[in-house]
Amino acid sequence: MAYTIKDVARQANVSIATVSRILNGQQGYSLKTKEKVMRIIEELGYHPNAVARGLINKRTHTIGVLFPHLSGSLVTDLLRGIEKAASARGSSIMVCHTESDKEKTMKYLHLLSEKRVDGLIFTSETLREEYYQFILKANIPVVLLSTKSDEYDVPYVKVDDYKAAYSATEYLIKKGHTNIGMISGRKEDLIAGKPRIDGFLDAMKDHQLQANDKHLYMANGFSFIDGIEGMKYFHKHTIGITAIFAASDEIAIGAMSTANQLGINIPEELSIIGYDNINFAEMSIPSLTTVAQPFTEMGEQAGKLLLSILENDEIPENQTVAHRIIERDSVQEK
Amino acid sequence: MAYTIKDVARQANVSIATVSRILNGQQGYSLKTKEKVMRIIEELGYHPNAVARGLINKRTHTIGVLFPHLSGSLVTDLLRGIEKAASARGSSIMVCHTESDKEKTMKYLHLLSEKRVDGLIFTSETLREEYYQFILKANIPVVLLSTKSDEYDVPYVKVDDYKAAYSATEYLIKKGHTNIGMISGRKEDLIAGKPRIDGFLDAMKDHQLQANDKHLYMANGFSFIDGIEGMKYFHKHTIGITAIFAASDEIAIGAMSTANQLGINIPEELSIIGYDNINFAEMSIPSLTTVAQPFTEMGEQAGKLLLSILENDEIPENQTVAHRIIERDSVQEK
DNA sequence: TTGTACGCGTTATCAG
DNA sequence: CTGATAACGCGTACAA
């Protein structure tokens, strides 16, 4: 059984109040007693009980982080950033895996609320009304990460997908491409689907280039297999495109893999730009030019944002962070 | 401010003891009062305070997980498994990022001990004496995951790297290869380096095949760049190998990339088998045959192991889990 | 069947 | 400078 403040007090022949004062760097004791107490603490290997502290201080120095999926470097990148911000301020993080499931999410929301976490970071998923109402009622500060809410006023940190898609397309255009296709997610996906499609379409339009239904292949998701389907589509319905904007790196790599099998040379015959900058983007052949979201920085910002809400009790600005284009070898000047 | 058990008791005209009994499914109350109390709880949206509970029960239903690195699918796979086991038993997990740094690790160990986590999962790294002594003194149950300790008697869950490397090599041999090279990590790395090297060497020896210094390229680490260096080495010191065993998938992919540039066809001229089965293994060209460690299952086993130690207070067996070989397209019969 | 009162390990407010 | 003592929210032995 671990030692308590009482044990320290008894051994040092002082009251627990004095020990507490010393522990919390307050004043009201002589140097002599401080030294004595510190020595006892050292000897006993005493550590304050954070649970008891949390009970009285109403702060647990713990924040809950909810992930819909626990896989891929997206998660670890975000996590690393959040952890950095949290540990810099002495907080730890509790990781939850919701599986995009309503009930599991609610279960976790209840759990985190019971555990009295100081705040919540909700990532990569739509904030449903049920979640929002609960959080509101439980009065837990929350920030959205890599997602945002159109309906509720909740601070968020994310990149502007529309802008990023727009500039990816523009990048291709500046390289001289005029006939460009896109392999996207579903337009019903308001977070990662529609904004990127709109960015692509608008960039084309603004440069007086044609982009109709034939230029857009809407896949079911953002994975390798979707890229394969997309490439097959553009190979079959030949409309003479010289470049593709893929809505994810996995799509891009799937497309490149299929192009390879079809005997299409990349980037000589077809340029491809991806989206995400996953680890593997630099290992593919050719290495993949892509739009990077700075996930680690985003995680860190979200952590800082949440902590500053906790400290200052003020609600700061939303943070739209900048994407950037990583130039590698899969796009060629035309 | 959240409601407390007192609020419920007052509104329901009963004592807090009765409310507590109802909450904990004990006996000693009429059905009528139970219904009344439950109604009030519902109305108020009352949730018990887990912090207060933790103080009195001496269980926080939280386990701490320490990762040296927060990146890659290894981490998320382990995490997913741990989370599954934990949440199935009503526990949550606290994620710590030690950066393989002694001081940061000790800081976290202190923190977790102060927060009174029920137990610890220590992953992917050597358990140093300092850590072990602290954990022992703090009396926190630990299990090692994807690592083990030769010096201390701590339960662990990991695959047998020696065996896995042995069977990867044997796989190549059974495909008809007799002149095989290996790109490995450093032999000073007792966790992931030496065992795989030994497995390779012994498999060769047991099949009366030659494997000397020239057949072994020891890289500095397990990354893409190391694979590039390794491939260059084997290209330069041409000893007629027809297959390579790479100690990681990243090495394998780096080697394949370089082979490609050197005009060496894979798998026609050179077969490659990797180790890890990272996401990208199935997306490479050609897709990579590799040794898979079932990280998610391992995480889940570690979680279950720890929880059973907590529940039953008994120390169970160590768990060596089976690897398996994922056959894809980078190895060809010779 | 129910309520009172103490304790879990702290912090903070008083007196002294 | 220091020490009782009342919270914090809950569980539980004991009494009623």
What domains can be seen in chain A, in order of their start residue?
A: 5-57 (1.10.260.40), 62-159+295-321 (3.40.50.2300), 161-293 (3.40.50.2300)
Contacts of A80 in chain B (CB under 8 A): 70-71, 97
Q: Which of A211, A223, A230, A249 is nearest to A325 (CA)?
A: A249
The gap between A111 CA and C8 C1' (Å) is 22
Quick check: pTM over 0.75?
yes
What is the least distance, in Å, from the CA of B285 to any CA of chain A? Answer: 7
In this predicted structure, what is the pLDDT of residue A313?
66
Phi, psi of B321 (to 5 degrees): -100, 155
Residue B117 is encoded by which pair of tokens? 């986590």
Can you list the alpha helix ranges (DSSP code H) found in B176-223?
194-206
Bridge partner residues of B66 (DSSP): B96, B122
Closest residue by C-alpha to C1' distance, nucleotide C1 = B29
Residue B187 in contact with residue B175, Cβ under 8 Å? Answer: no
Question: How many Å apart are CA B206 and CA B203, to the nearest integer?
Answer: 5
- Comparing alpha-carbon positions, the chain A residue that sits nearest to B253 is A283
Question: How many Å apart are CA A270 and CA B71, to the nearest integer?
Answer: 32
Q: Which residues, 6 or more positions from A94, have their beta carbon under 8 angstroms from its beta carbon?
A: A62, A63, A64, A65, A112, A115, A117, B62, B92, B93, B94, B95
Q: Which residues, 6 or more positions from B136, have their beta carbon under 8 angstroms from its beta carbon?
A: none
In this predicted structure, what is the pLDDT of residue B312?
78
Residue A66 in contact with residue A121, Cβ under 8 Å? Answer: yes
Q: Which residues touch strand C (CB under 7 A)?
A: A 1-2, 4-6, 16-17, 20, 23-24, 26, 46-49, 52-53, 55-57; B 13-18, 21, 27-30, 32-33, 52, 55-56
CB-CB: which of A45, A83, A224 is closest to B283?
Answer: A224
Residue B280 in contact with residue A224, Cβ under 8 Å? Answer: no
The gap between A41 CA and D3 C1' (Å) is 20
Contacts of B73 in chain A (CB under 8 A): 71-73
Q: Which residues, 6 or more positions from A4, have their beta carbon under 8 angstroms from its beta carbon?
A: A46, A49
Residues of chain B with pLDDT under 50: none
The gap between B172 CA and D12 C1' (Å) is 65
Looking at the complex, does the CB of residue A224 fall below 8 Å from at least one CB of chain B? yes
Chain-chain contact of A76 with B77 (C-beta, under 8 angstroms) = no
In this predicted structure, what is the pLDDT of residue A214?
92
Question: How many Å apart are CA A266 and CA A141, to the nearest integer?
Answer: 48
Q: Is the CB of B260 under 7 A from strand D?
A: no
How do A119-123 and A324-326 pair as beta strands?
A: unpaired
Residue A287 in contact with residue A329, Cβ under 8 Å? Answer: yes
Contacts of A250 in chain B (CB under 8 A): 283
Looking at the complex, does the CB of residue B312 fall below 8 Å from at least one CB of chain A? no
Contacts of A54 in chain B (CB under 8 A): 51
User: What CA–CA distances, in Å, run from A203 to A243, A251, A275, A289, A321?
Assistant: 14, 21, 16, 18, 20
Q: Can you give the pLDDT of all 334 residues of chain A as single tens digits? A: 789 999 999 999 999 999 999 999 888 788 888 898 999 999 999 999 999 999 999 999 999 999 999 988 889 999 999 999 999 999 999 999 999 999 999 999 999 999 999 999 999 999 999 999 999 999 999 999 999 999 999 999 999 999 999 999 999 999 999 999 999 999 999 888 999 999 999 999 999 999 998 999 999 999 999 999 999 999 998 789 999 999 999 999 999 999 998 999 999 999 999 999 988 898 888 999 999 999 999 999 999 999 999 987 666 777 888 999 999 999 999 8
CB-CB: which of A48, A80, A114 is closest to B50?
Answer: A114
In the 8-state DSSP scheme, what is residue A155?
-
User: From residues 44-73 of B, which are strand D contacts by CB within 7 A?
Assistant: 48-49, 52-53, 55-57
Can you list the alpha helix ranges (DSSP code H) found in chain A?
5-12, 16-23, 31-44, 50-57, 72-88, 102-114, 129-138, 161-174, 194-206, 224-236, 249-261, 295-312
- Burial class of residue B223, CB neighbours in 10 A (0-12, 13-18, 19+): middle
- Comparing alpha-carbon positions, the chain A residue that sits nearest to B94 is A94
Looking at the complex, does the CB of residue A95 fall below 8 Å from at least one CB of chain B? yes
User: What CA–CA distances, in Å, run from A39 to A24, A42, A45, B39?
Assistant: 16, 5, 10, 53
In this predicted structure, what is the pLDDT of residue B313?
66
**Residue tagged 């923190």 (tokens):** B111
In this predicted structure, what is the pLDDT of residue B28?
75
- Other C-beta atoms closer than 10 Å to the C-beta of B60 total 22
Residue A255 is encoded by which pair of tokens? 């497309």
What is the least distance, in Å, from the CA of A242 to any CA of chain B? Answer: 22
In this predicted structure, what is the pLDDT of residue B73?
85
Q: Which of A284, A247, A236, A286 is nearest to A266 (CA)?
A: A286
Q: Which pLDDT tens digit goes with each residue over B5-46?
A: 999 998 899 999 999 999 988 887 888 888 989 999 998 989
Q: Which of B227, B182, B73 is nearest to A283 (CA)?
A: B227
Q: Is the CB of A10 under 7 A from strand D?
A: no
